[in-house]
Amino acid sequence: MPARGDHEARRRDVSEAVWRVLAARGFGGLTLRAVATEMDASTGLLTHYFPSKKALIAHALDLADERTATRPLRDAPAPGLPALRAALLDVLPLTPDAAAMNRVWVGSWDVALADPDLAARQRDRYGSWRGRLRPHVAAAVARGELPASSDVDDVVASAAAFAHGLVVHALFDPARFPADRQTAMLDDFLASLTPAVRPE
Amino acid sequence: MPARGDHEARRRDVSEAVWRVLAARGFGGLTLRAVATEMDASTGLLTHYFPSKKALIAHALDLADERTATRPLRDAPAPGLPALRAALLDVLPLTPDAAAMNRVWVGSWDVALADPDLAARQRDRYGSWRGRLRPHVAAAVARGELPASSDVDDVVASAAAFAHGLVVHALFDPARFPADRQTAMLDDFLASLTPAVRPE
């Protein structure tokens, strides 16, 4: 029986292989056979870790969650709009790593929409994300950066929608949406929320 | 040998079955076996239509294109922002049919990102879509509805991103994003582009 250290090293190897398959081929290409080939192992070994396709998909989503939670984030700038801007920049595919991460999440939407459990998990993830953006928008209103009449939940939802849509367009057309244009579009979006300071 | 009419009726049956599988299970659930079961036919019959998985996916995307192109659209209102609004409302999942259509498109992103040909096709689709939105934004600038300093391509890209992101959030959380909230968010987004007329 191998030592515990071997088990954990093997588990990490499996996770790395799952991630590489996902980033290259998406959920449609995520099979036990593809993961086995990627790590030069037998499909039999993989069935030990993943007794079903659903278990493999669940592990892939766990990995995406873990990598999202542990990725480096921008330093917290001033509260309000600067903090909202930083949080949205953290989501955009401005670097190859961020593009790979987004490619996995965008790819996950197909399987998630097909399975009520996964769809609820995704719905809750995006609800939590909006919940983390909310204090920044509330602070922006309190600081007078946004109109006092702003509906905080609607501004949060619009900013989240804008960022996710830009992710999709940038993934499909990176030449037309390089990092500097994504950033400029985000800045224009945020400026549009604050008419008082917007140049005409 | 069956008459031509039989062939065409059978072809329509196949396409209907492909669409129902897609709408329910996405591209991850689109297999010859699932389509065969859906239409109570043999997998062998289906291989006649689709010699490969890639052929099946290509047909699914053709169907989505065809249904998108032939769906009922809103009447053309006044040029400029009202026309842009109508074009974006035509995309949002405001009805069950529009939600099913969007579910298929969002689901297609996973397979499209995994295949250079399909990714290029998707990139060109969204480029064309932005090209169809562009005259509305240009007219809005010409009519003074948007600032003369507006970058027309950026406004088009932002509006497209906002709409697609809202599609994703509404698909995952229809209770939180009913049709009236989607419409109100779109109206707020469009109003934010026009600071001169925006109430403080």
**Mean pLDDT to the nearest integer, A34-55:** 93
- Do A185 and B24 count as a contact with CB atoms less than 8 A apart? no
From the list A158, A163, A169, the residue facing B185 with the nearest CB is A158
Q: Quick check: B21 and B38 in contact, CB under 8 A?
A: yes
Choose from A56, A128, A162, A176 for mutation: most chain B CBs within 10 A.
A162
Contact list, B199 vs chain A (CB under 8 Å): 149
Give the best residue of B92, B103, B105, B109 to mutate against chain A (max A CB count within 10 A).
B109
Place of tokens 């790593």: A97
What is the nearest CA distance from A134 to chain B, expressed in angstroms?
A: 15
Q: How far is A176 from chain B (nearest CA, A)?
A: 10
Question: Class of the A4-68 domain?
Answer: mainly alpha
Helices (H), chain A: 4-25, 32-38, 43-49, 53-70, 81-89, 96-113, 116-142, 152-172, 179-192
H-helix or E-strand spanning residue B158:
helix B152-172
**Residues in chain B closer than 8 A to A193 (CB atoms):** 192
CA distances to A72, A73, A155, A160 from A77, rounded to whole Å, are 15, 11, 20, 19
Domain with CATH 1.10.357.10 in chain A: 4-68, 74-197
Q: What does the block give as tokens for A24?
A: 């290259």
Q: Residue B120: which residues within 8 A CB-CB, separation 6 or more?
A: none
Residue A166 and residue B169: Cβ atoms within 8 Å? no
Residue range B4-67, CATH number:
1.10.357.10
Looking at 1.20.1630.10, 1.10.357.10, 3.40.640.10, 2.40.50.140, the CATH number of the domain A74-197 comes to 1.10.357.10
Q: Nearest by CB to B172, which of A126, A172, A188?
A: A126
> Of A170, A53, A15, A16, which Cα lies nearest the Cα of B164?
A170
Give the torsion sign (CA, A127, A132, A135, A140). negative
Q: What is the ipTM of this complex?
A: 0.93
Q: Where in chain B is the domain with CATH 1.10.357.10?
A: 4-67, 73-197
Please choose, from the candidates B96, B128, B108, the residue with its C-alpha nearest in 3D space to the C-alpha of residue B58: B108
The tens place of each residue's pLDDT in chain B, 200 residues long, gives 556 678 888 889 999 999 999 999 999 999 999 999 999 999 998 999 999 988 999 999 999 999 999 998 998 889 999 999 999 999 999 999 999 999 999 999 999 999 999 999 999 999 999 999 999 999 999 999 999 999 999 999 999 999 999 999 999 999 999 999 999 999 999 999 986 544 44
Could you please state the CATH topology (level 3) that the domain comprising B73-197 is classified under: Tetracycline Repressor; domain 2 (1.10.357)
pLDDT number for residue A4: 62
Name the residue of chain B whose CA is nearest to A126's CA. Answer: B169
